Structure 1
Amino acid sequence: MFRVAVWLAAIPALAAGTAALAGPDDIRLTGRVVDRAQVLDKATRDHVTAASRRLEQRTGHQLVVVTIPSLEGDTIEHYSLTLFNRWRVGRACCNDGVGLLFAMRERRVRVEVGKGLERQLTDPEAAAIIQRSILPAIARGGIAAGVRAGTDAIAGELERS
C-alpha cells in the first residue's frame, strides 16, 4: 500500500470530546465515509459517497474516507494500513482499494493505495494530490473542503487511468 503522510498545519484543533477515541481495530466500516471525528457536514458526506459510488461503478475501484479524532500514539502509517487492510477496501481479486485518512489532533492525512492500483495512482501522484488539492482546500475552506478536494482528485486520477 502507498504511504504518504503530511502535516496539516491548516486544520484547526478539535473541541474536546467530539468523538470517542479508538484504535483501528475498534472502528467499523459503516459506509464510504466514516466520520469518527465528527467534522464533516451532511453535504460533504453525501458528496464523498456519490463520488466513491461513481468511481466504483465506472472502474470497480473502491474509495473510503475516514476522519479520526486522534492516532492515540500510533503512527499514521501503521494506523491506516491496519484499518484499511482489516476492512479489505477494494476487490479481493485485485486489491484495488484506496483509503483517505485524516487524523485531526495530529493534523495529518494519509493516502493508502492497494497494491493493485499502485501503477494507476503512484506515490508521486498521491503526494501531488495532497500538496496541490487537499492542503490548499483545507487552507481555504477547512477540513470538509479538503476531504471533498481529495476525494475528487483521487477519483479523477483513477478514472483517467
Structure 2
Amino acid sequence: MRSWLGWLVVFCVFGTPALGVTVDAVPRPAKGSWTVDLTPTHVLTPAVRAEVDRLANALNDQGLGQLMVVMVGTTSPRPSREFALALFNRWGIGHAGRDDGALLFIAYSDRKAEIILGDGVDGPEDQEASDEVMAQAIVPAFKRKDPNEAVRGGAQGLKELIENSRLNNPGAAEPSTAADLGGQDSASEASVSITQAPASMTESSSSEPNLGFFAGATGVVGAVGLAGSAWLRRRPRKCRTCGNLRARLGEAQDDAHLDPGQRREESLGSVDYDVWWCESCEDGTVERYGRFFSSFKRCTQCRYVTGKQTSRTLRSATYDHGGEVEVTVRCGHCDYVTTSRHSTPRRTRPSSSSSSRSSSGGGRSSGGGSSGSW
C-alpha cells in the first residue's frame, strides 16, 4: 500500500506538466518601473533592469510611448502570444487615445518571445521593424544563451521603433521606394551597375480572432520569409552578355568595386552590398541590401545612409502642452549637417481605471507585433 502511495506521489510531482502563471497573477510593476521578472532564478540582472527602466522612462517622459518587459517561466497550457496580448490589454500599456505601447514578453522555459504593439504603432513599417528586432536582436541572443542581451537589445530596438513610428513623426517622408534605393551613384568602375536587391516583408494581421493560430502562422511566415530572402540573395546569377554564371565576391574583394560612400555604408552597417563578378567579361554588378533595423539616416546631401541622428529636448512635454525637440543629423561620409525642430505630443494623464501603482496608462492592442522561438 505504501509502495503504491509512493509511486502516486512521484507521478503527481514529476508526471504532471508544469503549469504557468496566470495573467491575473502577474504583478504590476511599481510606478516608474517597467520590468517584471518572474523566472524562478530571476534571470534579468539589476543592470539590465535599470537599463530597460531608463529607456522606458525616457519614452514615457517625452510622451512618445510606453515600453514594458515581462519575463515568466512558462505560460502553459495557454499559448504565449495569447497570454502576452491579454496582459498588454489588462495593464493598458501605452497612453490612452494614442495606443503607443510595446510589450516584450518572454516565456523563458517555453523558449518563446513575443512583441505586442499598441494599435497606434502597428503600421506596416512598425510591423517590419518589429520583425527585424525579433530576428536580429532577440532570438540570436537567446540562442547564444545570453537572455540579458536579448532583453537589452530588444528593449533598445522597441524604443527606436516607437520613436521612429509614423505616430510620432506625422510629417516624416514616405518610406524609401525601390526607385529611391536604386538611384544612388554607381560605383566608380563604368562596368559596375547597381540594382535593387529583393527584400522580404512580413505583415501580421491584427484582426485574426484565433490568437493561437495567428502566433503560429506569424512564426511560419517569418521563417519562410527569412529563408526565401536568403535564397534570393544567394541564388546563382548569369551574365547577360556571355551567359556564364557569375561569382559572388567576398567582403574583402567586393570593396574594389564600391565607391567611397558605399564602403562607408558597409563599415557603418547601414547597408550591405554584394558584387557578382563575371570572369569572362570582367564585369561586375552591385546589388544593394538596406537594413530595416538601422539607426542611420539617409543624408540629404550625398544620399548615402550614413547620417547619425541625435536629438536634444528644447521644451519638455507636460500634461498642458506639447514639447519640442531639436534633431541633428551629421553625415559620416560627407560631413553634411542638417538640423530640424519637431513638436512632441503633450503627455496624457492615466485613465481613472488604471492602477495608481502602474506605470501604464490605458493603451490598447489588437495583436500586432512579432513572435520568436529559440
TM over 0.5: yes
- Whose helix proportion is higher, 1 or 2? 1
SS in 2 for 1:111: strand
Q: Which of 101, 106, 109 is equivalent to 1:102?
A: 106
Instruction: Name the larger-Rg structure.
Output: 2
Distance 1:127 1:117 in 2: 13
Q: TM-score, normalised by structure 1?
A: 0.81
Which position in structure 2 is the counterpart of 1:32? 34
Please say which of residues 49-58 and 115-124 is displaced more in the overlay: 115-124
Q: Which of 83, 94, 99 is equivalent to 2:87?
A: 83
* Equivalent residue letter for 1:89: I
1:125 aligns with 2:124: no
- Count matched residues: 142
Distance 1:56 1:106 in 2: 30
Q: Which of 150, 164, 174 is equivalent to 1:160?
A: 164
Q: Give the deviation of 1:141 after TM superposition.
A: 5.7
SS in 1 for 2:43: coil
Alignment check: 8 A CA contact 1:33 1:48 kept:
yes
* Distance change (3 Å), C-alpha of 1:61 and 1:50: same
Distance 2:20 2:155 in 1: 24
1:49 aligns with 2:48: no
Distance 1:121 1:133 in 2: 17
Report the identity percentage: 26
1:143 aligns with 2:110: no
Q: Give the deviation of 1:86 after TM superposition.
A: 0.4
Unpaired runs of at least 5, structure 1: 1-19
Which position in structure 2 is the counterpart of 1:68? 72
Distance 2:125 2:74 in 1: 27
- Whose strand proportion is higher, 1 or 2? 2
Q: TM-score, normalised by structure 2?
A: 0.36
Name the Cα RMSD after superposition: 1.8
Runs of 4+ in 1 over 2 A off after TM superposition: 57-60, 119-124, 136-141
SS in 2 for 1:73: coil
Distance 1:107 1:87 in 2: 24
Distance 1:115 1:109 in 2: 19
Unpaired runs of at least 5, structure 2: 1-18, 166-374
